[in-house]
Structure 1
Amino acid sequence: MPGSQRVALDFAVINALGSSHWQTSCREIGGAAAAYAQKKRRHLDTAAHCQAEGISFQPVVFTSQGTMTKEASSILRGIAEAISVAEGGCPAQLCEEIFERVAILIARANSRAVTRRQQPRDAGVSAASAALAAHAVLSEPMDVC
C-alpha cells in the first residue's frame, strides 16, 4: 500500500499478577503489560534490528486479567479500520468483535492452563494428544456476530 510502513507485530499474553509482574501491576494499571512490551523491544535488540531493516517492531501485549497496552488497543483499532475499508462494515463494531475474540481466546487459554495444573502428572496424556486437543480448540470457528 502506498505510504504504508512495514510492521512486525509480536503478540504476548502475560499474567500481570505473576511473580515477575505483580509489583509493577500494583503501582500502575497496565504497568506490567507496558513493562513487558519494553522488555520485548530490548530482548536480543529486536526493535533495533527491525529498525535497521526498515521495519517497525511493535509488541502487542495483553494480560490474562484483561488489560492491554495502549499500543495493543491502537493496533487492534487500526486492524478493524483496515478491515472496514477493505470489506465494509462499521469499524467500531469490527473493533468490538476483535476485542471479544481476543478476550475469548485468552479465557480459553487460562482455562486450559488451570486444568493442566490440576491434573496429576501421570494422567497418561501424551504431549502429542495434548497438542492435537489444543489445535482442535484453537481452530474451531467462532461466530462473534
Structure 2
Amino acid sequence: MAALRYRCAPDPPTTADRTLLLLHGWGANAADLLPLASVLAPTYQAYAADAPFPHPYVTEGRMWYDLSQHDGASESLLLDDRATDLATSEAMLSQWFEELPIDLSRTILAGFSQGGALTLSLGLQFPFAGLIVFSGYLVRPPHRDRPVHLY
C-alpha cells in the first residue's frame, strides 16, 4: 500500500509537545486545510494529509471516497462494505497514524466534511487526545473501543 502524501507546519517538523492532524474535505487538498492549524493549535506541530483519490471535477482536488457510493434514495450517507474507496482511505490513514513520529495520546485529529467523516470513522479507534469535526457526518455506525467524553 502506498503511503499518504502530507504537508506539515512548521516545515520541517519540530519536536513540538503536541500534534494536530488535519483531514480535508471533498475536492480540497492538504494545502487548503493546513493554514487552519495556526488558528486551531498555534503551538502544535501540524500535519495535513492528501486524500488518496483524485477528485473528478477539481484539478488539484482530492477525495477520500466516491460520494456516489452512498444511497441517495434513502438520504443516508452511511456506506456499506462495497465502499472500497472508504476502506482504502481508512487503511492508509491507520498506517499513517502509526508511522508518524508522534504520540497519539497527545494528538488531536481534526477533519472537515469528508475529512470529518473519516475523523468520526477512525478517531474512536485510536487513542487520540481529542477529535474536532467541522461539517462532518457518519459514514457507518460508530465503533469505539474506549469511553467517549463529549464536550
TM-score (normalizing by structure 2): 0.26
Structure with larger Rg: 1
Return the structure number with greater strand share.
2
TM-score (normalizing by structure 1): 0.27
